[in-house]
Structure formats: structure tokens, C-alpha cells
Amino acid sequence: MPHTPRGALALARDRVLGLLPGRADWAAVRRSPRRDLVAGLTVAVVALPLALAFGVTSGLGAQAGLITAVVAGAVAAVFGGSNLQVSGPTGAMTVVLVPVVQRFGATGVLMVGAMAGLVLIALALARLGRYVRYLPTPVIEGFTAGIAVVIALQQVPAALGVTDAHGEKVWAVAADAVGRFVVHPRPAALAVALGVAALMLLGARWRPGLPFSLLGVAGATVLAELAPIDLARIGALPQGLPAPSLGFLDVDAVGVLLPSALAVAALAALESLLSATVADGMTVGERHDPDRELFGQGLANLASPLFGGIPATAAIARTAVNVRAGAASKLAALTHAVALAAIVLVAAPLVGRIPLAALAGVLLATTVRMVEAGSLWALARATRSDAVVLVLTFAVTVIWDLVTAVAVGLAVAVVLALRAVARSARLEQVPLDPGEHSAEEHALLAEHIVAYRLDGPLFFAAAHTFLLELSEVADVRVVILRMSRVSTLDATGAHVLGDAIARLRGRGITVLISGITPGHDQVLSTLGVAEELRRAGLVFPDTPAAIRYARGLALGTPEAVAR
């Protein structure tokens, strides 16, 4: 029954209200506020250098990274579907944004972020969040490893102290930076970047709870201030958030920016829901709402561009720190955003003195942590199909871009999965029940009657093989097709079945069908397949009835001949 306009409005209203924060969210906040506050401050210490580094890498500067962490982090914390999620700028997002900055500039990035926010809200209202769980693991691991390599390549110019490297792709820019470094080496920048990265990686093994990223950045900044070395700095930052503005809006640019916006929205949805799933797995009793999470990320990406921030998503690394620090509610992620805002207000001049090479070191260490070699190796050895999807997704991510990589990886995974399913379909000749017949009768039956059992799916990917096998039947008078074990039947499979039956009948072979399930019978009837067999009474509810009739034909009994 169609919805009335009033009913549709009520349904839409209920769906929107279901995406908004409820009493359960605030009840969780009251459980352990002190632990949440401590966890939020801990995450802020870890997030500060990452926000600065990702802002610089995106091309919009450290200020944009901080604004994103504050604004998007607060909005996503309040409206998101996870109690433990921490949002802000991420490495994966900067990989997508760099070409957008190059083509459309800073205002284009802000416009793309707002458009992506609207797409995410639409996905939430359509309740599509739950379908991200079906993304194949090799695709996820492949593009994660590819992102790590791309982020590392993005840091090469800053780590080498090169500010004028050029190239259309990130690997080309890195190669150009290496070439310029060889001609005019700047060992100080390289030493700072490698020193910060080594401190983070070794320190995490020694004392996992200490914020070695912040200690490394602080140490590099002090060294740059005291020692006579030439290092590029972040530069001046405004003390406070800029006033919100819609100056970036350009309706005429919507068409050209839409592909980039869809890519950003797809990445934000994917990374956020994967991060929330990881957070659920690290705790007991926590379960995120995928549609509310998309809604919260959509609002966050609408709010961030108003203040000059870049598109945001949930961050797996910061979310993991939040969980390990004892967070139990949204208060922790909100505290992280407030703490970063306080740093912007109080310590902006100090933050502006941080060397870019130190931030490059932070991200180099982050990329090493992103890649789990054991997981990649296990996937590569699991099956040949998994290995192909993993390597292909990784390669396309590094050589072209992330969105293309996910699309290619998913397409190849689907094709290989269909191939595997199609191979599971079998056309197997089965022996007939001897029953109460003489040896002479058995010989007659064996010579002139063949029964085939169809196992598995009969759909477009398996239909061609089925047609070839069935068409090779020879030297028989009657063929029984047993269809009770057919798991899937689509239009292509039904048409191929009809074609095979027509070929057999054209050679004078009588075809009997048995065991068609109701769902498959509807497909065959709708498409008019085997209608002549139905009219002739050659479709049977079960195999024994078909065998009895086939024996009657072979032995020339009156019942079979008269039917």
C-alpha cells in the first residue's frame, strides 16, 4: 500500500529523529566522566602533531588540520554513532585531497567537503551504513597498505628539506625531491625526520603509553631554535578559530566537483565505519550504529568547511588510543576537540615554530604502524584470488588513486567470487534405482535413459558451462533433469536451460524435469521456459515419478505412451 504524503513525512521525521543523539548517549557520559576526560586529554596529545601534519600534507596548511580536528572532531563526537570514535583529518583523506587542491585550489576542497557531507547524510537517511561490512578484506588491506606508501611518499620532500619538488603523481614528486636532494643535500632536515620517526617507533616498544610523537616534535622544535640549522617551519597560525563563512560556495562548480565529492564521501564512510568496527572489537558490550555514524560524519563535514577545515573522517589510530586510555562515552572525543581548541588559543605562536621535517617524521612512523606485515602475508597466502585482489588494489592505490583502487579491487573481487561460485555448479550423471527389473530391462534402461542432477547455482556465470555439458549428451532416448538441488536460478540460467532442452528435443531426445522448487518454477513460468514440457505432462514434482515415466517410455508400457 503506497504511503500518503502525511505518512511519508512522518516516516522521514522518525528516521531523522532516530539519527539524533538520545538519552542513552548522555547516560553513558554520566557513567565515568573522569576517565573520559583523562582519555580525551591523552588523545589530544597524540592528535596534535597528526592534525598539524595532515593539514600540511593536504596542501591547505597546518591551520586547516587543527580546525578540522577541533570542529569536525566535536561535531562527530556529539552526533556520531559510536561512543568511542575520534574524528579529524586522516592520512587516507589527504591522499584524496592532494589532487583536488592541485586542480581546484583551497576553495574547491572546502566545496568538496561540504558536498561530501550532504552525500553522507543522504546515505545515513537511506540506511546504507550496514552494507560497508560486505567490503572484501583483501580490498581493505590492499588500499590500507597503499595509503601507507602514498603518505610516506608525500613526506619525502619535507623529510629531505626540498620545497620546490614537482610532479603529477605523488611518486613523481618524491622522485623529483630525491633528485634535487642529491644535487643540493640538506642533511639537517633528513636527520630530524628520521630521528622523530625512530623515536616514535622505538619508544612505542619501550613505553607504549608515552606520547613519543609529541616528545619528538617538541625536541625537534627546541633543537631548531637553539642550533644554527636551517629548517622550514609551519609558519604563523591565527590564535583562535576563524569566523564561519560560506564564501567558498560555488553552485556552478557542483558538476565538476561532484566526482571528487563522491570519492571523499565514499572514503569517509568506509574509514569511519571500519574504525567503529575496530573500536567495537577492542571493547566488550559496545556496538556502533552505522547509520548514525554516517550522519555524524556528514554533519562534521558540513561544519568543517565553514571554518576553513578539510574533509574529515574517523581515525583508527586516535580511536584506538581513546579506547586504550579508558574512554567509555562521547565525552572523551569531545574533550579531545576542546583540548585542541585550547592549544590553538593559547599556544599558536609555539606551534608555528615546529619544523616541517619533524611532522614528516611523525607521518613516516605512522605509515609504518599502519601496515601489518603479518596480516598482509597471511592474506597473500590464503588463496590465489585473495592475493590477486590484495596486490592489485595496493598497486592501483600507489600508481593512480585510492578511489580507483577500491573500485578496481572490488570489481576484481566480485569477478573472482562469481568465478568460484560458477565453478561450484555441477551437472552430475546419477544412477537410476534398479527396482524390480530383470537384467535385460536394466540394460535397456542404462542404454536409453540418463538422469542428471544439477547442483549449485544456475546463473549467468555458470550457464555457459552447463549448456556445453548438457548438449554433449548422446545415444539416449530420455534425459531426466533433477533440479531440486539448484540453489540459484536467474533469467540467464533459465534461458540457457530452455535452449539446452530445445537442442535435446531437436535431436529426438525426450526431456523430463523433476523437483523444481516454487521460487525457481516462478522464474521459469514467467520467462516461458519449458512450457511445451508442462503441456505434455513432462514436468514432475519428484524424481521417482519422472523415473517411472521414463521407464515406461523405454519399455513401451501403455501408460507412458498414452500420456
Walk along the chain (563 residues) and give the pLDDT tens digit of each residue: 455 566 667 777 777 877 888 777 777 788 888 888 988 888 887 788 888 888 888 889 889 999 999 999 999 999 998 998 999 998 778 878 888 898 899 999 999 999 999 999 999 998 888 777 677 878 878 877 887 888 889 889 999 999 888 877 788 889 999 999 999 998 999 999 999 999 999 998 888 777 888 899 999 999 999 988 888 888 877 777 888 999 999 999 999 999 899 989 988 998 888 788 778 877 767 788 899 999 999 999 999 999 999 999 998 778 878 887 788 889 999 999 999 999 888 888 888 888 999 988 988 888 888 777 888 888 888 788 888 999 998 998 888 776 677 788 888 888 887 777 767 666 666 666 555 444 544 554 566 788 888 888 877 666 667 666 776 776 778 888 888 888 888 888 888 888 888 888 888 888 999 999 888 888 888 888 888 888 888 999 988 888 888 878 766 654 554 45
Residue in 254, 305, 273, 271 with CA at minimum distance from that of residue 117? 305
Per-residue exposure over 481-496, b if at least 16 CB sit within 10 Å of its own CB, e if not = bbbeebeebbeebbbb
> What is the pLDDT at residue 300?
96
| Whether 215 and 307 share a structural domain | yes
| Whether 46 and 166 share a structural domain | yes
| Whether 359 and 446 share a structural domain | no
| Whether 485 and 348 share a structural domain | no
Q: What is the 3-state secondary structure (H, E, C) of 273-300?
A: HHHHHHHHHCCCCCCCCHHHHHHHHHHH
Residue with cell 564521501: 265
> Where does 281-385 show beta strands of DSSP type E?
313-314
> What is the pLDDT at residue 419?
77
> What is the pLDDT at residue 8?
66
Q: Which of 348, 366, 384 is the last residue of a domain?
A: 366
Backbone angles phi, psi at 479, to 5 degrees: -120, 125
Strands 313-314 and 87-88: antiparallel
- Cα–Cα dist 28/31, whole Å: 5
Helix (H, G, I), strand (E, B) or coil at 48: helix
| Whether 120 and 38 share a structural domain | yes
- Cα–Cα dist 291/161, whole Å: 44
Per-residue exposure over 194-215, b if at least 16 CB sit within 10 Å of its own CB, e if not = bbbbebbeebbeeeeeebbbbb
> What is the pLDDT at residue 3?
52
> What is the pLDDT at residue 553?
78
> What is the pLDDT at residue 384?
85
> What is the pLDDT at residue 386?
87
| Whether 550 and 445 share a structural domain | yes
Residue with cell 555524524: 296
| Whether 61 and 210 share a structural domain | yes
| Whether 361 and 446 share a structural domain | no
- Cα–Cα dist 276/424, whole Å: 35
**DSSP code for 355:** B
Strands 426-430 and 478-482: unpaired
> What is the pLDDT at residue 310?
94
By residue range, what is the domain housing residue 351?
32-234+253-366
- Give me the number of domains the chain comprises: 2
CATH number of the structural domain spanning residue 532:
3.30.750.24
Instruction: State the Rg of the chain over Cα.
Output: 32
Query: How many distinct helices (H) and strands (E) make up the chain?
Result: 24, 8
| Whether 329 and 446 share a structural domain | no
